[in-house]
């Protein structure tokens, strides 16, 4: 199956075909470094980290993720603290890097800073002026949106309707209310760089165009970011880049969904705003990463203690199974024996099609939620073998070796299951999430006991186990694929 991605530009899934065979060039908008990063940033960066990891299994990938290190918010913070802008930007670049390292991100190929690309920015602005697509208004330079016929093609908005309904501060120097700044004249006390239009600094949108084109060329494969960047940031990037170069800017536009807090949009004004650092003080980094991958990247994701608890219990369930098979005496590679029991045959079947199903899920627009579901199916089959005969047969031991290898292989793509199982289980002992009163291994053992009881038509014992788990806040969910559970 060919890789298919949802392209915001076309509004549909498309087969992914790189501009240059065997090579992929990808740019993802980084953070504006004026404060600690929040869990919305965590989602975007984990999403594109997984996309980067998966693409690298097939292509040579150049991945650029920038730092916006000059901006009104940075300047305001610097003035408030009585320091220079670069003190603020360097402080929060370090903080961001620490957060990303804890979340297990692979470093991008290139991590440029906007302030290191002023010459490239000025060159593009001048090209736009020379082409009549931008104009100077005193010390500022604006892009003229009416000069770009396909403006708003990414967000599918209408320029006339936006102008009629716009609540934009009136600036008589603009030719059109939607015109946006390419270069801003420096105010007294602000940092500045010399330019043909006087002392000033770049606008936000032109920074990303300059950095992406320098390292990836005038046309490249993938541009990513959160849905909140579609308009105006990515829309304006397209306009200025294609107006300057006269060619398509990006082939595939990928955008991740929002993070909600207890079903409400995350907002500082609502008091439901959490930094990555705050979340990692409470939860293991691998739990947070696993949670972020539990939904498709384009879907909204509801952040709550209960949902984190479920992610933590699910991850513990997987690690508990890996630890259990690691403890089976004589787990060595190379043993070959036919599967004897029904449970062993089921595990053999799951293993046989596992990597194909994983690739099929990831080829369907990087469906990590479905990929994780496939892992849980494998774990259930492992636990059944362990429960029925202890997994001590030659066939079971050979399959356990394959299970560990397979889980490690997909873990290298998802960025989870990377710890030693016993080490992970020891690490989270002191970080139990509210609502969990039992370990995943204990729950799985009781679920298997309940399955055996139901098979023997001992429904009294089956109900007893269900009620006992419910009293411990564990809700059982029976389905065609077996019984799963979640924290109530």
Return binding residues for Zn(2+).
Answer: 29, 208, 233, 237
Q: How far apart are CA 281 and CA 218, in angstroms?
A: 42
Report the run of H or E that residue 350 belongs to, with start and end: helix 342-363
Q: Can you tell me the distance from the alpha carbon of 68 to that of 205, in angstroms, rounded to the nearest whole number?
A: 10
Q: Which amino acids are annotated as binding site for ATP, given as ranges?
A: 268
DSSP classification of residue 234: I
Q: Could you give the 3-state DSSP secondary structure of residue 188?
A: coil
Residue 41 in contact with residue 288, Cβ under 8 Å? Answer: no
d(CA 298, CA 51): 13
Phi, psi of 19 (to 5 degrees): -60, -35
DSSP-assigned states of every residue in 147-177: G-TTTTTTTT--HHHHHHH------TT-SST
DSSP string, 301-343: EEE-HHHHHHHHHHHHHHHHHHHHHHHSTT--TT------SHH
| CA-based torsion, 100, 101, 103, 108: positive or negative | positive
HSE value, Cβ hemisphere, 13 Å, CA-based, for 467: 6
CA distance 89 to 39: 19
Rounded (to 5) percent helix, strand, coil in the chain = 50, 15, 35
Q: At 3, list the tokens.
A: 């890789």
Binding site residue list? 29, 208, 233, 237, 268
Distance of alpha carbon 403 from alpha carbon 425, whole angstroms = 18
| 3-class secondary structure, 13 | strand
């Amino acid at each position: 199956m060919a890789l298919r991605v949802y392209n915001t530009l076309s509004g549909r899934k498309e087969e992914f075909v790189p501009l240059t065979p065997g090579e992929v060039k990808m740019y993802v908008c980084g953070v504006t470094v004026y404060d600690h990063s929040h869990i919305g940033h965590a989602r975007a960066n984990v999403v594109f980290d997984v996309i980067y990891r998966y693409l690298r299994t097939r292509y040579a990938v150049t991945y650029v993720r920038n730092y916006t290190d000059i901006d009104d918010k940075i300047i305001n913070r610097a003035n408030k603290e009585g320091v220079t802008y670069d003190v603020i930007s360097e402080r929060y670049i370090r903080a961001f890097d620490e957060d990303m390292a804890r979340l297990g991100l692979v470093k991008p190929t290139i991590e440029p800073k906007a302030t290191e690309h002023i010459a490239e920015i000025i060159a593009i602005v001048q090209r736009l002026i020379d082409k009549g697509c931008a104009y100077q208004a005193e010390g500022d330079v604006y892009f003229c949106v009416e000069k770009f016929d396909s403006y708003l093609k990414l967000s599918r908005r209408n320029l006339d309707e936006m102008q009629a309904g716009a609540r934009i501060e009136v600036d008589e120097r603009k030719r059109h209310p939607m015109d946006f700044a390419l270069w801003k004249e420096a105010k007294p006390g602000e940092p500045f760089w010399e330019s043909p239009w006087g002392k000033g600094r770049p606008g936000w949108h032109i920074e990303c165009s300059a950095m992406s084109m320098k390292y990836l060329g005038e046309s490249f494969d993938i541009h990513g970011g959160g849905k909140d960047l579609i308009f105006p940031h990515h829309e304006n990037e397209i306009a200025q880049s294609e107006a300057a170069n006269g060619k398509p800017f990006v082939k595939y536009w990928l955008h991740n969904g929002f993070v909600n807090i207890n079903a409400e949009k995350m907002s500082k004004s609502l008091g439901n705003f959490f930094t990555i650092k705050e979340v990692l003080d409470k939860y293991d980094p691998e739990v947070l990463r696993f949670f972020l991958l539990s939904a498709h990247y384009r879907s909204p994701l509801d952040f709550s203690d209960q949902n984190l608890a479920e992610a933590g219990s699910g991850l513990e369930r997987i690690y508990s199974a890996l630890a259990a098979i690691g403890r089976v005496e004589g787990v060595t590679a190379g043993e070959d024996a036919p599967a004897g029991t029904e449970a062993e045959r089921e595990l053999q079947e799951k293993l046989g099609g596992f990597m194909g199903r994983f690739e099929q899920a990831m080829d369907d627009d990087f469906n990590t939620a479905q990929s994780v579901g496939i892992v849980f199916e494998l774990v259930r089959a492992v636990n059944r073998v362990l429960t029925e005969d202890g997994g001590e047969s030659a066939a079971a031991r050979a399959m356990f070796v394959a299970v560990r290898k397979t889980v490690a292989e997909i873990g290298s793509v998802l960025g989870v299951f990377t710890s030693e199982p016993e080490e992970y289980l020891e690490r989270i002992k002191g970080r139990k999430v509210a609502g969990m009163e039992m370990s995943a291994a204990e729950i799985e053992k009781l679920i298997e006991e309940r399955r055996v009881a139901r098979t023997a038509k001992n429904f009294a014992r089956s109900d007893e186990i269900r009620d006992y788990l419910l009293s411990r806040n564990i809700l059982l969910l029976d389905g065609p694929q077996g019984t799963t559970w979640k924290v109530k």
